[in-house]
Amino acid sequence: MRQYYKTNGFELYEGSCLDVLKTLNENSVDLIFADPPYFLSNGGFTCKAGKMAPVNKGSWDESHGFDSDYKFTLAWLSACRRVLKDNGTIWISGTLHNIYQIGFALKKLQYEILNEVTWFKPNAPPNLSCRYFAHSHETLLWARKEKHAKHKFNYSVMKNWDVSKDRINHPGKQMRSVWSIPLTPKEEKIGSGHPTQKPIELLKRIISASSDEGDMVLDPFNGSGTTGVVSAMLGRNYMGIDKNTEFLEMTQERYNQLLNIKESPVPTLHL
């Protein structure tokens, strides 16, 4: 592992999340967002731009069998628990391929699950086999480290959130646990982007709901860096971990563009 990039309140580490997490201070992180491997890159197909395309994201997303996958899930969640503050919380995204073993591991490690949020994708691609319902959502599990801790939840911020693109929730009413957010738009990507890049709106809700300015946010599977960019936008500190230098370079570029937009009145920004 090595420190890939560091500037004011923004750090990127190259290496396995298990190797990097064990070097971080105990009880030092306020909020974790994790978008771990879904273990679905095993020769299947999906629909991309109206055409059949391989679903394979990369070797990092391949399943090595239930026992091996679960062992890894238990290991990184345990490592995250060590660095999370007693009143800290963790958000984890997943699908049917991995979310149930994640939920089981959370309970085994004595996390307290607070919410199951459904991210509904109104523009999800169709199912080409016509043998299943079209997959149009992902599941987000939100859990706190300690069962009786007073976790952060910015209730009024969520209640009055600008949900102009979300026809399920309404400003002035309690935000519900179903969020209608389109897939990541092209303008938020650099080049071809990351195969599992999350939309800015999704991370803005999560980080705004569960942390305050100046808090430390950690993403053990940094990917394209959306968690980091949104953390910087919202005045949070950030640590991101990834084994892929291409993704870390992408994150650094997005972060530098964010700095440029703050200095320039007419910027071009890919978030």
Q: Taking residues 229-249, what's their average pLDDT?
A: 97
Domains delineated in the chain: 2-263 (3.40.50.150)
On the question of pLDDT at 45 being above 70, the answer is no
145: region left, alpha or beta (phi > 0 left; psi from -120 to 50 alpha): alpha
On the question of pLDDT at 228 being above 60, the answer is yes
Q: Taking residues 60-72, what's their average pLDDT?
A: 82
What is the distance of C-alpha 153 from the center of its chain?
A: 18
CB 135 within 8 A of CB 95: yes
Give the pLDDT score at 57. 56
pTM for the model stands at 0.89
Distance CA 184, CA 198 (A): 6
On the question of pLDDT at 183 being above 90, the answer is yes
Strand order in the sheet with 10-14: 2-7, 10-14, 237-242, 216-219, 29-34, 84-94, 137-144, 112-120, 178-180
Burial class (CB in 10 A: 0-12, 13-18, 19+), 59: exposed
